[in-house]
Amino acid sequence: MDMSENKMSENEIIEYMVDSAQYSSTIRHELLFSIKRRNFLKPSYSKKSQGKLVYLIYPGNYLKFELFASRRQNYAHLSILLIHIDKNGIDSKELVDAKMPYSMIFDIQDDINAPYALKEFLRMIPRYHQTANVDINENYEMAEDAMTMVESIKLYLESKLISQ
């Protein structure tokens, strides 16, 4: 993990940056999900010129949803990481790793069987030359348990890839 982008402050709030940009043929889309709140976190601000979203967060455990997609190469890579942040730094563990054709990310958005959190993540893909607009219903918790949600996403993606 690149610690130059993530800084600890005296009161232990951490500045954590993720990629969020769509260009001519590529998408880089990352969002943090709060395990405690069971919802995506709204970033504190964005650095549109750099294609970054900036979170100011407390130490703890989070999920990081990541998507890299290339239309030109007809390729998409979706992953979900468990991120642990504390005063000693940041550790991550990959929980979901799925490689698929580019078009599949848009098929998932329209699939009524797709897990809600996955559809929400894909719905918030940034528009062309912008950062993601994280608009969530804060009164809606996406899962009873974050790890159960991750497992359902993993199983869904595995079944979707097998059927291809």
pLDDT tens for 142-159 read 667 899 999 999 999 999
Contact 128, 142 (CB under 8 A): no
Angle (deg, nearest 10), helices 116-123 and 146-162: 80
Q: What is the CATH number of domain 3-162?
A: 2.60.40.2930
Residue spans per domain, the chain: 3-162
Residues 6+ apart with CB under 8 A from 38: 141, 142, 143, 144, 145, 146, 149
pLDDT tens for 52-96 read 999 999 999 999 999 999 999 999 999 999 999 887 888 999 999
